[in-house]
Amino acid sequence: MAILMLIASCKKDFLDLTPADQISDPEFWKSTQDMELYVNGLYSVLPGWLLSGSGGNPLLDAGTEMAISVGLWLPTKNRLDGTINVSSSGGGWDWTNVRNVNYFLENATRVPDGGLKEHYIGEALFFRAWNYFTLLKQFGDLPIITKTLAADDKDALYASRSSRTEVVNFIISDLDMAVSKLKKKNEVAAQRVSRDIASLFLSRVCLYEGTWEKYHQNDAFKGTTDGTVFLTKAAQAAKAVIDGAIYSLATGNPNQVYYELFNQINLSSNPEILLWRSYSNAQGDQFTNQLWNWPHGSGYTQDMVRTYLCKDGLPISLSPLYMGENDIRDVIKNRDPRLVQSIMNPGDPVLINLKNDTTKYTLPILGGAQNDPTGYESQKFRRPQIDPATGNQSGELAYIIFRYAEALLNYAEARAELGQLTQGDLDLTINKLRSRVGMPPMTLASITTDPNWPDYGYSLPNYLQEIRRERVAELLTEGFRLDDLMRWAAHKLFVGKRPKGAYYSAELKAAFPNLIVDANNFLDPYKTALNGPNGGWGFNPAKNYLMPIPTNELTLNTSLKQNPGW
C-alpha cells in the first residue's frame, strides 16, 4: 500500500510549482484596472509630512535661513553648511522610482485600448517627470533612461550623463505628453493627478531650470542655454493653469484665511488646492504632522520675520508702522497678516479640548534639542483642536502638494525674469495674493526701494526683489526655499552668516535662563554649530550647488564624472 501511495504521488510535474500568493507578470496587464493598481503605487513618491519618531517634526524649510531646527533635521542644514561628504553608495543616486515608471510604460501597451488607459499613461509620465526632477535637483546632469534595464544592458548602464538642459527637455516632453493625455480634475477621482497638476508642475520645473540656467551661466553648474526658453515655457504652463479657470484662491476673512488654509484635515472642496495628501489615524498613519506636538524642535528665524512688509506695503526699514522686534507682540504688529498667521503669538490657541476649553500660547519653549531654538514657533500647519477619536491633536492634517498660489507666483516670476512683466500680470497674480489678506497692491511703476533688500550678489530689478519677497511671504515653509536658493544661485544670502532667533527679552530670560545669544542679545542657537567663515554657513559655491555622486558609481561606471568641486 505504501508503495502504491508513493507511485500515486509520483507525478511527472511533481516539481513544477508556481507561486500561489502573488501575481506573476504574464497574468497581469489585462485591463485598465491592472494599470490603475500599478499606478497607485507610483504616488508614494509624492511628499508628505516628514517622519520623525522622536516626537519632533521640523518645518519643511528648516535648515535654510528662514527656519531652523536643532538636532532634528540636518540634511538641508548640512547642505547649506557644506558639510556633506561623498558617500560610497546611496547618497540619493537612486533609480528605483524611474525604473518603476519605465516598467509600467513598457507594459501599458499590452493593455487593450480604451477607458482610462491614456490617462494612466499620463499619470505615469507625470511621475517619471517627478522622479527625474528629484534627481536633477540633486545631481544636475543625468543619464536618460527610458526602459527597464537588465543587469547586462551595458550601453545604458555604463553610459555617461546627458546635460541638464537635455534632461529638462526630456522632463518637459514627458509632461507635455502627460498634459495631453491626462483628464481634467472633474473627470478623475479625487486626489489623482489631473491635467492642470501636470501643467503646474511643468511650470515649476521650467521656472527652476530657467532661473538656474540664467543665474548659473557663469559658474560650473551652467546648462547649455541662458534659460529664456524654459522661462517662456514656465510662463505658458502657469498661464494655462490660470486660464483653465478650474482653480482659484481660497477667500475669507483676511485675518484668518491664510492660516485656515493650512490647518485643515480635508481640502477636497478647497478651490485653491490642486493636489494634497491626506492622512488617517484609523488607517494606521503614524508619525504624521506633529507640529502641534509642542515644542517640536524648530522655529522661524530673524530673517524670516524681517522679510514681511508692514501693513502699509512698506518694508520694515521704512514703514512708520514698524514697532521693532524686542517683543514678539511688537514683531507682529501692523505687519503683513500672513506673518501673524504664520507664527505663534501670545493668546493664540495651542489646544482646544473637547469641552471647547482653549489652552493659550504664552511663551515659546526654548533651549534643548526638541525645543524651539529661535523663539518663533510656527502657527502654520498647526491644528489646535483635539480629535475626539484619538484624544489627541490630529495627526491627519492635510499636506499640500500643489496649490493655485504657486501658479500665480510662478507666472509672475517667469514674466519678470523674461523682462516681460506688466501691471496686468501683477494684478493677475501678486495682487490677488495680497488682496486676499488685505495688503495693498504692488504697483510696477512705484516700487519702494528697500535699503535692506537682500544682496544676491548680482543686480536684480526692484520688481524681482519684491516678487521673491512675496514668494517667501506666501509659500513659507511649504518646502520651496532650498530649491529657490539653489536656482537663484543665492549663496550670498547665507554664506558666512548665521540664522538668529528672537530678542532674548527679560521675559524669555526669566523663563529660560542661560541661552546662547549674539552681541545684540538675539538668540544665537547655531553659534558654534556651523562650519563656514565667521561661524556662519560654510556652503562652498564652487561645489555645494549639486550633490556628489557616490564613489562606488564612479568606480563601476568610468564614463560617469563627478560633479564640480567634489
Among residue numbers 403 through 422, which ones bind other proteins (CB under 8 A)?
none
Do 490 and 460 meet the contact criterion of CB atoms below 8 Å apart? Answer: no
Is residue 352 involved in binding other proteins (CB under 8 A)? no
515 near other proteins (CB under 8 A): yes
Per DSSP, 279 falls in state: -
8 Å CB contact between 361 and 350: yes
83 binds other proteins (CB under 8 A): yes
Upstream peptide bond of 295 is cis (omega within 30 degrees of 0): yes
Residue closer to other proteins by CB (options 448, 540) is: 540
With CB under 8 A as the contact rule, the residue among 113, 114, 186, 189 that binds other proteins is: 189
485-514 mask for other proteins (x: CB under 8 A)? --------------------------x-xx
Binding mask 304-333 for other proteins (x = CB under 8 A): ------------------------------
Q: Smallest gap, in angstroms, from Cβ of residue 259 to other proteins? A: 19
- Among 99, 183, 185, 509, which residue sits at the site for other proteins (rule: CB under 8 A)? 99
b/e per residue 483-495 (b: at least 16 CB within 10 A): bbbbbbbbbebbb
* Binding residue for other proteins, selected from 30, 88, 224, 521, defined by CB under 8 A: 88
Site for other proteins in 289-308 (CB under 8 A): 294-295
Please report, as residue ranges, which positions from 416 to 455 form the binding site for other proteins (by CB under 8 A). none
Q: Which is nearer to other proteins, 315 or 532 (CB)?
A: 532
Cβ closest to other proteins, residue 27 vs residue 455: 27
The verdict on 518 binding other proteins (CB under 8 A) reads: no
Residue 111 parent element (H or E): none
Report 192-231 residues binding other proteins (CB under 8 A): 192
447: number of Cβ within 10 Å:
14
In the range 105-124, which residues lie near other proteins by CB under 8 A?
A: none
User: Which residue is it, cell 554657513?
Assistant: 537
Helix (H, G, I), strand (E, B) or coil at 451: coil
* Contact yes or no for 563/164 (Cβ under 8 A): no
Stretch that binds other proteins, among 65-73, 112-120, 334-342, 438-446 (CB under 8 A): 65-73
Measured CA to CA, the distance from residue 508 to residue 502 in angstroms comes to 10
- Check residue 94 for interaction with other proteins (CB under 8 A): yes
Q: Which of 160, 187, 256, 369 binds other proteins (CB under 8 A)?
A: 369
Q: Interface with other proteins includes 542 (CB under 8 A)?
A: no
What residues from 157 to 176 belong to the interface with other proteins (CB under 8 A)? 157-159
Q: Does 270 bind other proteins (CB under 8 A)?
A: no
Angle ∠(191,138,125) on CA atoms, nearest 5: 40
- The footprint of other proteins on residues 378-397 (CB under 8 A) is 389-392
And the C-alpha cell for 412?
A: 509672475
Fill in the amino acid letter for 476. L
Using CA atoms, how far apart are residues 200 and 196, in angstroms rounded to an integer? 6
Q: Does position 533 bind other proteins by CB under 8 A?
A: no
Q: Which is nearer to other proteins, 505 or 557 (CB)?
A: 557
Q: Hey, what amino acid is at 295?
A: P
User: Cβ-count burial of 530 within 10 angstroms (0-12 exposed, 13-18 middle, 19+ buried)?
Assistant: buried
> Is 499 in a helix, a strand, or coil?
coil
Quick check: 320 and 327 in contact, CB under 8 A?
no
255 binds other proteins (CB under 8 A): no
Which pairs from 243-247 meet CB under 8 Å and 24+ separation? 244/195, 244/196, 244/199, 246/184, 246/185, 246/186, 246/196, 247/196, 247/271, 247/272, 247/273, 247/274, 247/404, 247/407
Closest distance to other proteins from the beta carbon of 257 (Å):
24
Task: Choose the binding region for other proteins from 245-253, 320-328, 337-345, 552-560 (rule: CB under 8 A).
Answer: 552-560
Which one among 323, 529, 541, 562 touches other proteins, defined by CB under 8 A?
Answer: 529
Paired with 393 in beta bridges are 386
Q: Is position 22 an interface residue for other proteins (rule: CB under 8 A)?
A: yes
Nearer to other proteins, 347 or 368 (CB): 368
Helix residue ranges per DSSP H, 109-244 = 117-139, 154-157, 164-181, 195-215, 228-244
Q: Which of 251, 255, 359, 423 binds other proteins (CB under 8 A)?
A: 359
Q: What is the Cα 361 distance to its own chain's centre?
A: 28
d(CA 211, CA 175): 19
Q: What residue has cell string 480604451?
A: 114
8 A C-beta contact, residue 479 and residue 58: no
Question: What is the residue whose three cell numbers read 547586462?
Answer: 152
Out of 126, 130, 133, 279, point to the residue binding other proteins (CB under 8 A): 279
Q: Which of 109, 251, 534, 555 binds other proteins (CB under 8 A)?
A: 555
| Cβ pair 270, 402 in contact under 8 A | no
517 binds other proteins (CB under 8 A): no
Selected binder of other proteins within 51, 190, 354, 542 (CB under 8 A): 190
Cβ(213)–Cβ(222) under 8 Å?
yes
Number of Cβ atoms within 10 Å of the Cβ of 251: 12
Nearest alpha-carbon partner for 130 in 44, 238, 226: 44
Report how far residue 320's alpha carbon sits from residue 334's, in angstroms, rounded to the nearest whole number: 10
Q: Does 519 bind other proteins (CB under 8 A)?
A: no
**Per rule CB under 8 A, is residue 345 in the interface with other proteins?**
no
Phi, psi angle pair for 546, to nearest 5°: -125, 160
Classified as helix, coil or strand, 321 is: coil
- Residues in 121-160 that interact with other proteins by CB under 8 A: 143, 145, 148-151, 156-159
Minimum separation from the CB atom of position 114 to other proteins (A): 21
Told to check if 74 binds other proteins by CB under 8 A, we report: yes
Give the whole-angstrom CA distance, residue 469 versus residue 460. Answer: 12
Q: Which amino acid is at 494?
A: F
Q: Which of 270, 298, 370, 379 binds other proteins (CB under 8 A)?
A: 370
Are 81 and 530 contacting, i.e. CB atoms less than 8 angstroms apart? yes
Site for other proteins contains 357 (CB under 8 A): no
Contact flag: residue 269 with other proteins (CB under 8 A): no
Choose the binding region for other proteins from 44-52, 228-236, 442-450, 454-462 (rule: CB under 8 A).
44-52
Nearer to other proteins, 72 or 235 (CB): 72
Nearest approach in angstroms of CB 60 to other proteins is 18
We find the least distance from the C-beta atom of residue 463 to other proteins, in angstroms, to be 38
